[in-house]
């Protein structure tokens, strides 16, 4: 994609499609209602009243209460919301899906005569522009930088001049705050395909000033320093490296730093070729970067991009200064279970169809209880008394928000392994139907399950799950850019977990017989 200085780099890199369906069932009801309300507002502003017709064609409909609709009837608040909007409210996303198809118009099935038909069709174009502006997301679901097998983002940024290509690579971005330390830089010769970017060269004349801070040694020997900040009174231990470095900078090298103000546009790559220093005697000296002087092993610099060779490029990332993060819609924790020899993906926050996240253990418990109540568990008549001395249990249960990942060999490799998503069975006593496989409900762990015509397996690199575990969250992000424009997007972050755990899963268990 082309670089756009009007868009923060976090928005470009983290953007993902908002999920409106899960396993073929409608979710994100809050956004659907928001879109429907805005469409009715557009018609009202134009003096049109087709709300009844649109609500009939694009309506919410409460499905029947059976085991296939556990996402509604297992949760009281979801069922109440569905019952309130069923047949009464407009599903704006259904309308949006219709008008984005080439050849379809908003007036289809509503009115066929002008001027109302033309007015509705024009409002449909305005409706699409509004939705594209309020939520920033890719046109193609697969056109995003998220790597599911790595649980992090990966992308490149490139700039071209008349001689070289400079490529900034963010191979492990997951912090949620993007800056120079996220990138590595590579330089190579132009291949003739890229067009030169906006390049400018500037030579400036200035008088540098010393960097000053409280407590620094005074350059005049006959003056006393301000006692409010006494760097000489710091008493670090031999392991306090940060304090020792601070003292060395403040007391030894403080007078070696100069301040040269220079304004650069954001999203730019800048190189200082050198400095020409002219002293009071009229002598000039050409000074290059410390790395180019042959002392690269001992050179130290701030805001330095990691490179395979010498490089002194400064990158001013077009990153957002402040990002407001909403409550997590999804949260998973990947932990190692050494007893079971597997990894568990625990869904600690699961998105409900209403559009908000709920505690994963409570969602799993309510879903389990819904299926248990549905199953006819009337006790069967027993004519022969049970007189066994032991109770044999083939397998214990785990909560339904615990998704197993089992180690499997990498294809065409007999040593290296990766983690493959598996499923536990929902086994209920007295159920006449075959046990079903419990699937994850978060889009983070549902990777590949929505593929058509058949679901795809999901693998995670084994080295991505350390002993400390991994926690991944997904939530809406909001920021205001330098031109005042507001961006809202769906982004993810990865953080360190809380260590190992155990699910208590056991096989072939012998227990005492209960009275």
Q: Which residues pair with 324 in a beta bridge?
A: 478
Show the tokens assigned to 162.
């008349």
Cα-based distances in Å from 304 to 176, 388, 434: 20, 73, 60
pLDDT of residue 353: 95
Q: Is 228 left (phi over 0), alpha (psi -120 to 50) or beta?
A: alpha
Tokens 């017709």, residue located: 53
Q: Is 484 left (phi over 0), alpha (psi -120 to 50) or beta?
A: left
Cα-based distances in Å from 170 to 270, 280, 322: 19, 46, 20
Q: What b-and-e string marks burial along 379-409, b requiring 16 or more CB atoms within 10 Å of the CB?
A: eeeeeeeeeeeeeeeeeeebbbbbbbbeeee
Show the tokens assigned to 255.
């007078």
What's the rounded Cα separation, in Å, for the pair 125 and 102? Answer: 12
What's the rounded Cα separation, in Å, for the pair 244 and 238? Answer: 8
Whether the CB-CB separation of 314 and 270 falls below 8 Å is answered with: yes
pLDDT of residue 165: 85
pTM of the model as a whole = 0.84
Kind and range of the H or E run holding 396:
none
Q: Which residues pair with 57 in a beta bridge?
A: none
> Among candidates 128, 123, 41, 58, which has minimal Cα distance to 92?
58
Whether the CB-CB separation of 439 and 23 falls below 8 Å is answered with: yes
Helices (H), 152-307: 241-251
Show the tokens assigned to 459.
């693998």
What's the rounded Cα separation, in Å, for the pair 44 and 161? Answer: 53
pLDDT of residue 489: 95
Q: What are phi and psi of 192, to 5 degrees?
A: 90, -5
Q: What are phi and psi of 267, to 5 degrees?
A: 75, 25
What's the rounded Cα separation, in Å, for the pair 292 and 196? Answer: 26
Per-residue pLDDT of the chain (515 residues; tens, 9 = 90+): 888 888 999 999 999 999 999 999 999 999 999 999 999 999 999 999 999 999 999 999 999 999 899 999 999 999 999 999 999 999 999 999 999 999 999 999 999 988 999 999 999 999 999 999 999 998 888 888 999 999 999 999 888 876 778 889 999 999 888 888 899 998 877 655 556 667 788 888 888 888 888 877 777 777 777 767 787 788 898 889 988 888 888 888 777 888 888 888 888 888 888 889 998 898 999 988 877 766 555 666 778 888 877 778 889 989 998 999 999 999 999 999 988 888 999 999 999 999 999 999 999 999 999 999 988 655 555 566 777 778 888 888 899 999 999 999 998 888 889 999 999 999 888 888 899 999 999 999 999 999 888 999 999 999 999 999 999 999 999 999 999 999 999 999 999 998 998 888 888 888 877 65
Whether the CB-CB separation of 238 and 289 falls below 8 Å is answered with: no
What's the rounded Cα separation, in Å, for the pair 198 and 264? Answer: 13
pLDDT of residue 296: 54
Show the tokens assigned to 257.
């730093």
What value, to the nearest 5°, has the Cα angle with vertex 332 and ends 331 and 333?
130
Whether the CB-CB separation of 144 and 16 falls below 8 Å is answered with: yes
> Among candidates 410, 411, 441, 450, which has minimal Cα distance to 423?
441
pLDDT of residue 403: 96
The number of helices, as runs of H, and strands, as runs of E, in the chain is 9, 26
Whether the CB-CB separation of 475 and 328 falls below 8 Å is answered with: yes
Whether the CB-CB separation of 401 and 361 falls below 8 Å is answered with: yes
Show the tokens assigned to 335.
């932990």
CA 429 from chain center: how many Å?
Answer: 40
Cα-based distances in Å from 112 to 98, 108, 118: 17, 8, 9
**Secondary structure letter of residue 220 according to DSSP:** S
Q: Work out the burial of residue 462: count CB atoms within 10 Å of its CB; fewer than 13 is exposed, 13-18 middle, 19 or more buried.
A: middle
pLDDT of residue 502: 86
């Amino acid at each position: 994609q082309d670089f756009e200085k009007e868009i923060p780099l976090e928005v470009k890199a983290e953007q993902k499609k908002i999920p409106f369906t899960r396993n073929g069932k409608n979710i994100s009801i809050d956004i659907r209602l928001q879109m429907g309300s805005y469409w009715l507002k557009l018609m009202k502003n134009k003096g049109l009243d087709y709300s009844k017709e649109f609500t009939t064609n694009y309506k919410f409909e409460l499905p029947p209460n059976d085991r296939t609709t556990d996402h509604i009837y297992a949760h009281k608040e979801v069922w109440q919301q569905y019952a309130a909007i069923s047949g009464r409210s407009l599903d704006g996303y259904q309308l949006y899906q219709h008008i984005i198809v080439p050849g379809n118009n908003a007036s289809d099935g509503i009115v066929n005569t002008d001027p109302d038909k033309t007015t509705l069709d024009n409002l449909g174009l305005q409706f699409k522009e509004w939705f594209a502006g309020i939520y920033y997301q890719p046109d193609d679901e697969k056109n995003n930088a998220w790597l599911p097998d790595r649980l992090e983002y990966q992308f490149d940024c490139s700039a071209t001049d008349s001689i070289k290509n400079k490529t900034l690579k963010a191979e492990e971005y997951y912090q949620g705050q993007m800056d120079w330390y996220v990138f590595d830089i590579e330089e190579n010769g132009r291949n003739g395909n890229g067009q030169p970017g906006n390049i400018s060269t500037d030579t400036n004349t200035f008088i540098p000033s010393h960097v000053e801070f409280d407590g620094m040694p005074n350059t005049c020997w006959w003056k006393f320093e301000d006692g409010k900040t006494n760097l000489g009174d710091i008493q670090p231990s031999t392991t306090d490296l940060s304090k020792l470095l601070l003292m060395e900078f403040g007391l030894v090298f403080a007078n070696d730093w100069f301040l040269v103000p220079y304004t650069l546009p954001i999203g730019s790559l800048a190189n200082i070729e050198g400095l020409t220093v002219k002293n009071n005697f009229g002598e000039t000296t050409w000074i290059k970067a410390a790395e180019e002087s042959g002392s690269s092993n001992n050179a130290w610099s701030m805001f330095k991009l990691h490179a395979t060779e010498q490089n002194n490029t400064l990158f001013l990332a077009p990153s957002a200064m402040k990002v407001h993060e909403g409550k997590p819609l999804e949260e998973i924790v990947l932990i190692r279970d050494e007893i079971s020899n597997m990894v568990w993906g625990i869904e600690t926050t699961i998105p409900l169809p209403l559009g908000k996240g709920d505690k994963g253990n409570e969602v799993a418990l309510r879903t389990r209880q819904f299926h248990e109540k549905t199953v006819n568990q009337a006790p069967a008549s027993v004519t022969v008394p049970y007189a066994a001395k032991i109770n044999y249990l083939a397998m214990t249960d785990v909560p339904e928000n615990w998704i197993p990942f089992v180690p499997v060999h990498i294809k065409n490799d007999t040593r290296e392994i990766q983690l493959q998503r598996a499923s536990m069975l929902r086994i209920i006593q007295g159920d006449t139907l075959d046990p079903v496989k419990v699937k994850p409900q978060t889009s983070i762990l549902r990777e590949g399950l929505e593929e058509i015509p058949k679901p795809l397996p999901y693998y995670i690199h084994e080295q991505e799950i350390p002993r400390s575990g991994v926690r991944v969250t997904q939530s809406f992000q909001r920021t205001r850019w330098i031109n005042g424009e507001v961006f809202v997007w769906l982004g993810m972050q990865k953080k360190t977990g809380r260590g190992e755990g155990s699910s208590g899963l056991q096989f072939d268990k012998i227990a005492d017989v209960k009275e």
